[in-house]
Amino acid sequence: GAVVSQHPSRVICKSGTSVKIECRSLDFQATTMFWYRQFPKQSLMLMATSNEGSKATYEQGVEKDKFLINHASLTLSTLTVTSAHPEDSSFYICSARDPQGSDGYTFGSGTRLTVV
Partner 1 sequence: AQSVAQPEDQVNVAEGNPLTVKCTYSVSGNPYLFWYVQYPNRGLQFLLKYITGDNLVKGSYGFEAEFNKSQTSFHLKKPSALVSDSALYFCAVGTDSWGKLQFGAGTQVVVTP
Shortest distance, position 106 Cβ to partner 1, whole Å: 8
Is there binding between residue 30 and partner 1 (CB under 8 A)? no
Contact by Cβ (8 Å): 97, 32: yes
Residues 6+ apart with CB under 8 A from 86: 15, 115, 116
Site for partner 1 in 40-79 (CB under 8 A): 41-44, 46, 49
Instruction: Classify 93 as helix, strand or coil.
Output: strand
Q: Which of 21, 69, 108, 113 lies at the binding interface for partner 1 (CB under 8 A)?
A: 108
What span, in angstroms and rounded, lies between the C-alpha atoms of 72 and 27? 17
Nearer residue to partner 1 within complex by CB, 88 or 92: 92
Residues 6+ apart with CB under 8 A from 68: 79, 80, 82
Is there binding between residue 27 and partner 1 (CB under 8 A)? no
- Binding residues for partner 1, rule: CB under 8 A, are 6, 10, 32, 34, 41-44, 46, 49, 91, 93, 95, 97, 99, 103-110, 112
